[in-house]
Amino acid sequence: MSAEVRDLIEFDELDGRMIYADVEPIGNGRDGVITSLLDSGDAVERGTVLYAVNATPTTVFYGSFPFYRSLGEGSVGDDVLVLEKNLAALGYHSFEDEDGNMVNTGFTVDGVYDESTIDAVLRWQKDSGMPETGDVGASDIIALAGPAVVSDVMTDVGRRVNSGGTIMELNVVGRADTAHYEHSGEIETFVTTGQVLTSGDVLYSVDGLAVTAVVSDAAFDRDIGDGVDRGDDVLAVEEMLLSLGYDANGDLEVDDVFDENTEKAILDWEEDLQETFDAVIVDGVVSRDEIITFEPGTVAGPVTDFEEEIIASGSVLWSSSTETAARLVETSIAVADKDKLADGTAVDVEFPEGDIVQGTVTAVATSTTTDPMDPDAEPTIDIEISLTQVPVSARDFNQVDVTIKLVEKIASGATVVPVGALVATGDGNFAVEAITTTGTTLIQVDPGMFSDGWVEVAGIQPGTQVVVPS
């Protein structure tokens, strides 16, 4: 074995635990007896019943806005919008008559709880075995960002529970959303899967009328035309017109005020649309019924392929889903060593099977923690570390114990030999047994840093042949 040049790294190690980054505790909103319940490891999707109390189910819908109140006729808001998206995605926006023909109910995904919403809720409640009231209670639905897996269950079927307790915990493993047709009729779809939406894109036409995307955070709850008050919706329309090249011969001001130049730009745009879509009315008004708004950065998911040309309003235009299954590592460090794990620090994380992946410190607690079982323990600071990836050997586990490896020392370009090559000389010093042309000889060396079975030595040159006992 020859002495060689290597970079040695000495690590300080901390114990940690990998968990899912998005853990959702599921609370109970009813007093009574658990009559059905998912098990740990069960998959959770849109429409999955998590549990039932007194035979009344609590169901998962996808959405980012919580169901915090009871909903009924006249309710308006983002929770109604989430409800309508899920009812439509589950197929309750329309129904088939006795002859198997689709019946359009006038259902739209608009955040307004109207008669068509009530009818859809009644159909869902009937299929779910719920009391058919047409109203939705705050405990009937749990909103999740997307698919999940049950990680832990805190109760059992037959056990009496009280409102406010935790029933289970879910690991959320994805994000999901839908976009919907807001019209019924003969539809021709123009948006394509993977398309990054921009304002002015024609999504589809219905009976010859173009329906256009407006990319904006503004709320569109009115027609935009002469006499409207200034607002963000006016600004969004003007931005769209300018991006499409309709600037009223250079006189359009993008200023959230509807004036004669805004109207002229709209008229020019409508005239061009009418050449392709003959049902477009050239009136200088952007009708709320002719646009659908999207958040900036929206990308169309897989577009629904309908065999029939006539579809019901509320039908899914596209559905999108993103698998996240993000994980993080929790650990803690002594207050005196907190600078070793400052926010943004890169670390290595070692898994039980020996796999090592890189992580980055993404959260550092602002207060200390003391072990309540050990009053003499030193206070520590909690740390969260995000991971670039999870090794295959650990992907199926909810939690995994890991080791965080912190670089303590680095010896760059060190002359090293295997630790087994060191020989104690009896006078407190060390040597290596160097191989010569005539045999071997002991050469005194000064050991330095030890790491991974190697030791840094001074006193010999790289390439020196040394004896390593087997």
pLDDT tens string 278-316: 999 999 999 999 999 998 989 999 999 887 778 899 999
Q: How far is 188 from 165, CA to CA, in rounded Å?
A: 49
Among the listed ranges 54-58, 115-119, 266-270, 332-336, which one has the minimum average pLDDT value? 332-336
DSSP H stretches of helix in 115-231 = 115-128
Q: What are phi and psi of 323, to 5 degrees?
A: -85, 125
pLDDT at 370 (0 to 100): 84
Q: Which residues of 206-230 are buried (b: 16+ CB within 10 A; e: fewer)?
A: beebbbbbbbbebebeeebbeebee
Q: How far is 415 from 456, CA to CA, in rounded Å?
A: 6
Burial (CB < 10 A; 0-12, 13-18, 19+), residue 107, is buried
pLDDT at 130 (0 to 100): 93
Domain boundaries, the chain: 10-18+325-409, 24-179, 182-322, 413-458
**What average pLDDT score do residues 67-87 get?**
97
Read off the pLDDT of residues 431-443 as tens digits, 9 standing for 90 and up.
999 999 899 999 9
pTM metric for this prediction: 0.74
**What average pLDDT score do residues 402-429 get?**
89
Going by C-beta distance under 8 Å and a sequence separation of 6 or more, which residues neighbour residue 396? none
Contact 442, 435 (CB under 8 A): no
Provide the percentage of residues in the chain whose pLDDT is more than 90.
Answer: 73
Q: What are phi and psi of 161, to 5 degrees?
A: -130, 160
Going by C-beta distance under 8 Å and a sequence separation of 6 or more, which residues neighbour residue 14? 331, 332, 333, 403, 404, 406
Query: What stretches of 276-419 adopt beta strand conformation (E)?
Result: 291-294, 310-311, 316-323, 327-334, 346-350, 356-369, 380-387, 400-418
In the block, tokens 């040049």 appear at: 5
Architecture of domain 24-179: Orthogonal Bundle (1.10)
pLDDT at 268 (0 to 100): 98
Q: Give the closest residue to 131 by CA, choosing from 139, 118, 122, 120.
A: 122
Q: What are phi and psi of 292, to 5 degrees?
A: -130, 130
Contact 439, 394 (CB under 8 A): no
Q: Would the pLDDT of 174 be above 90?
A: no
Helix (H, G, I), strand (E, B) or coil at 409: strand
pLDDT at 391 (0 to 100): 87
Nearest-10 crossing angle of helices 232-243, 260-276: 50
Tell me which of 309 and 68 has the higher pLDDT: 68
Which residues does residue 3 pair with via DSSP β-bridges, in sequence order? none
In the block, tokens 């002495």 appear at: 3
Where residue 102 falls among pLDDT bands split at 50, 70, 90?
Answer: confident
Options 3.20.20.70, 3.40.50.720, 3.30.1490.190, 2.40.420.20; CATH of 413-458: 2.40.420.20
In the block, tokens 């079975």 appear at: 453
Read off the pLDDT of residues 353-409 as tens digits, 9 standing for 90 and up.
889 999 999 999 999 888 788 878 888 999 999 988 888 888 878 889 999 988 778
Helix (H, G, I), strand (E, B) or coil at 276: helix
Dig out the tokens for 39 from the structure.
């098990």
- Domain 10-18+325-409 in this protein, CATH class: mainly beta
